[in-house]
Amino acid sequence: MNEGIDWFALATAAAALAGPVVAVWITRMSDSRKEVQARRMDIFRTLMRTRKMPIHQDHVGALNLIEVEFAADDSVIKAWKEYLRNLSDRPPVQANELVQADFFKRRETLLTKLISEMAKVLKFKVEQMDIFEGNYIPQGWHDEDWEQKIARKGLIDVLSGKRPIVIQPYCPSQGQGPYPPAPRVDNPSINAESS
């Protein structure tokens, strides 16, 4: 036998020491990638879920996280910046309905483009038309939202002194009450005794 270094034994010892360290490192890297993917999918799902509700707090929160979670994806960041630029523009108040409709259609198109770019990065197959036309919101949600806006506006007008609270007397009709009238009793013996 050669009295030199036993390279096989040395390699075995190095593998025994380095193996667990490398395994932990690989596991950590894999977990890290999964966490990033999960956070990105959460943002994507939230935007898909709220794409017809742009002022919903979840929608706004997801938009604000795009810059962090998709920082390395230029196409997503470009679409996000374009959409944010449009969000900072106010809708034309004095314009006719057609101009306003075009303004909001452009906004929806930019959001669709953003979601589509995110879907590509996430390797999620979805058509832009499905993003644009999809999503279900019950009419009751729209009605409730509209009623809350009207009530909030009215309360603000009252509290700021722009609108008074009208107080007027109310007297229900004396002939009607919450209960039906008492039944008439036509018993001659009761009438004779009372006379």
Distances (CA, A) of 168 to 119, 165, 171: 59, 10, 10
Give the CA angle between residues 143, 145, 148 to the nearest 5°. 110
Higher pLDDT, 86 or 17: 86
The ranges assigned to domains in the chain are 7-137
The per-residue pLDDT for 77 is 96
The per-residue pLDDT for 80 is 96
The per-residue pLDDT for 13 is 80
Per-residue model confidence as pLDDT tens digits over 146-193:
899 899 999 999 999 999 988 888 776 666 666 777 788 776 665 555
Give the CA angle between residues 12, 13, 19 to the nearest 5°. 85
Per-residue model confidence as pLDDT tens digits over 80-100:
999 999 999 888 777 788 888
The per-residue pLDDT for 106 is 92
